[in-house]
């Protein structure tokens, strides 16, 4: 009988550990990670921050967002740029245009647009009216709010608590970056920065840029 109780107790402990393990899984926020996509902490090497050789006529300080290849470039001049991996809008949510950074925030709160809340509610996901900033916030560590003609476009360049979405089409149109990367970019731009989003619709106009690959010497020795 004592052996039975010992086995039963061991089974109960094992079950409780199983329950804790399941509840500790990363939370899939409804901001737009597509349902059923495998979550992983691994980021493909090409989406790591890199210094690259970039041929473009755009002025230093300009941000170029290449939604097709999932890269964001901060133009530095002398045919150089810092390249970051990004996640972009899923089918039906891609866009293009020339905008500016109209506002910036550290650990921003998140206010889901009414249409997003309605859309997610239809799928059984109830979003908060406002979510305070912090590690669990879908906007991540930093946000740069994109404006056009002095008006908020509702699109942002922001961090993410879903790093496995970098390199994928999974957002509702915002440009998402890893938290370390968005913090690095945030420290190098300011309100008024020009942002060119190259994507569906070709509303970005004529913009020429060519990624010629990693700047090996600068990556190794800096400067």
The set of catalytic residues is 158, 174
What does the CA dihedral 108, 89, 117, 130 come to, rounded to 10 degrees?
A: 0
Say which residue the tokens 């470039």 belong to: 73
Residue ranges in the chain assigned as alpha helix (H): 2-23, 114-122, 179-186, 216-221
Which two structure tokens, joined as six digits, stand for 128? 């908060």
Dihedral sign from CA coordinates of 130, 135, 140, 143: positive
Is the distance from CB of 145 to CB of 104 less than 8 angstroms?
yes
Closest CA to 82 of 207, 178, 215: 215
φ, ψ for residue 182, nearest 5 deg:
-65, -30
Angle, alpha carbons 26-32-33 (nearest 5°): 45
CA 210/CA 48 separation, integer angstroms: 18
């Amino acid at each position: 009988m004592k052996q039975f109780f010992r086995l039963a107790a061991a089974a109960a402990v094992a079950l409780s550990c199983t329950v804790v393990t399941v509840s500790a899984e990363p939370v899939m926020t409804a901001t737009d990670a597509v349902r059923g996509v495998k979550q992983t902490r691994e980021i493909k090497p090409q989406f790591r921050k890199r210094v690259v050789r970039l041929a473009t006529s755009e002025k230093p300080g300009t941000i170029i967002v290449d939604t097709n290849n999932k890269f964001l470039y901060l133009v530095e001049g002398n045919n150089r740029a810092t390249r970051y991996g990004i996640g972009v809008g899923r089918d039906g949510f891609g866009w293009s245009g020339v905008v500016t950074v109209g506002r910036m925030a550290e650990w921003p709160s998140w206010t889901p647009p009414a249409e997003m809340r309605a859309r997610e509610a239809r799928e059984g996901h109830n979003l908060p009216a406002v979510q305070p900033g912090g590690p669990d916030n879908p906007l991540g560590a930093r946000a740069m709010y994109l404006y056009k003609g002095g008006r908020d476009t509702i699109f942002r360049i922001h961090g993410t608590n879903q790093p496995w979405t970098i390199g994928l089409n999974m957002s509702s149109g915002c440009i998402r970056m890893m938290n370390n990367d968005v913090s690095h970019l945030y420290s190098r731009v300011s309100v008024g920065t020009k942002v060119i989003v190259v994507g569906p619709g070709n509303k970005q106009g004529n913009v020429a840029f060519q990624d010629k690959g990693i700047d090996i010497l600068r990556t190794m020795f800096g400067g």
